[in-house]
Amino acid sequence: MSALAFNSQGLGFSLNWVGPGTCDVSGLGRNFVSRQLLTAQGWDEAKSIVAQKHAAGHNYQLLDFAHRRISNFEVAHDKVSEKVIDQAFFHANQYQTLEVPGQITGNSSLHRLARARQLPVPRTAAEALEVLGDQQDHAYPIFHDQLSHRLGDQSDWTLASVLFDLQEGRVDLMAGNPKDGVVQRTFQVPKQRTEHIVV
């Protein structure tokens, strides 16, 4: 649940770590917020859950499959920024829409954001997967795997690449490098309101 999830109301989300640089223990941890998102009955409730005070901060991509809308949220303690996604938007573990003095940044984020700006803006799902699978920056590629580390990758590992298809109500978990287009597993997301399922 710390990477992506969706519920029976057709609401989904994915997550990225961001570092505000300080911790406020009166706020919630991001995994508690993620768990609450699974109980949201609608878009407005999901937005209010994301906007709760956080102990640190986080980045959420909130998806509404029934109404085909996406917003990117950056949270730092009690500050929240929402960016409605109506075109390609690339995020790499660094605040971009919320001013956060003292945020923790790293070479990997700086390199990945710079590389994404060099690439053509994706207009299709296949083009978006090409960007997510890019490994041209050998020191800090967008996609991290065994090949990138053999070529000199100095950073982390990509845990998962996922394609959310709001039109088809589908979540595709990609196998290996997403630019290859190989789907490991597909999940169908309810696009209509259904009975609440308790987990």
Local confidence band at 3 (pLDDT 50, 70, 90 cut-offs): confident
pLDDT tens-digit profile of 41-68?
Answer: 999 999 999 999 999 999 999 999 999 9
Q: What residue type is 65 in one-letter code?
A: F
Choose among 51, 53, 49, 62: nearest CA to 16: 62
pLDDT tens-digit profile of 110-143?
Answer: 999 999 999 999 999 999 999 999 999 999 999 9
What per-residue string of b and e applies to 26-41 under the rule 16 or more CB within 10 Å gives b?
A: ebbebeebbebbbebe
Q: What residue type is 192 in one-letter code?
A: Q
The 3-class SS string of 94-159 reads CCCCCCCCCCECCHHHHHHHHHHHHCCCCCCHHHHHHHHCCCCCCCCCCCCCHHHHHCCCCCCCCC
